[in-house]
Amino acid sequence: MFGTGQSVEVVGLGLLGALLLTAVWHDIRSHRIPNVIVFWGAALGLLFHMGLTTSSSAADVMPIGLGFLKSLAGLGVGLCALLPLYLLRGAAAGDAKLMAMVGAFLGPIDTFGAVLCTFVVGAILAIVIAVRAGVFAKMLTNVRLILFGAAAKLAAVDGPAFNPRTDTTAKVPYALAIAFGTATWLSLRYFH
């Protein structure tokens, strides 16, 4: 359908970048990431890779021509990486869906790298926001509650509960961490 080459890579990066910037804008403005962005974005990522031939050039900017299954696997890696945080109430559902959308564009291996970079960027962002808001100590207490609560659930015993409605110290627009984490990974992997 499409040919390989830098122009196609730029289109893929451009689509992903535009979707991430739109998600960041919404998340900063309303602390929500609209489903229309992540669902249509994931569909675009899947369709993008379905229509491309496999690329084998070492000079490629991003993975292209992954095919539907690897694109779908990337979507799964992105979703599964943030799903535990959502289940522990440490992240919102939109954040997990946005990482899944990123995965549809990057495939499983690059999504894993983007997730790791996102966690680092997210931790730094959370610390900066908590320090600026004067709630760093409360943030550490919340992290402890989330971790102890998760450990208690794994051990099938009652443990402390974290309520994001009452215990949240400051809202972190995690779409920003996902965007910067993804950009960091792509920069480290393809632009060195």
pLDDT one digit per residue (tens) for the chain, 192 residues? 444 456 667 788 889 999 999 999 999 999 999 999 999 999 999 998 887 655 544 445 455 567 889 999 999 999 999 998 888 777 889 999 999 999 999 999 999 999 999 999 999 998 898 888 887 787 777 777 777 777 777 777 776 665 555 555 567 899 999 999 999 999 998 776
Residue ranges covered by each domain of the chain: 6-135+170-190
At 2, phi and psi to the nearest 5? Answer: -105, 160
| pLDDT reported for residue 65 | 67
- Cβ neighbours of residue 163 under 8 Å, at least 6 residues apart? 89
At 93, phi and psi to the nearest 5? Answer: -60, -35
Residue 184 and residue 115 in contact, taking contact as beta carbons nearer than 8 Å: no
Name the burial class of residue 25, with classes exposed (0-12), middle (13-18) and buried (19+) by CB atoms within 10 angstroms of its CB: middle
| pLDDT reported for residue 140 | 78
Rounded Cα gap, residues 60 and 54, in angstroms: 11
Residue 169 and residue 131 in contact, taking contact as beta carbons nearer than 8 Å: no
Which one, of 125, 106, 132, 109, lies nearest residue 175 by Cα?
125
7, 46, 133, 156, 161 from 38: Cα distances, Å? 24, 12, 30, 34, 30
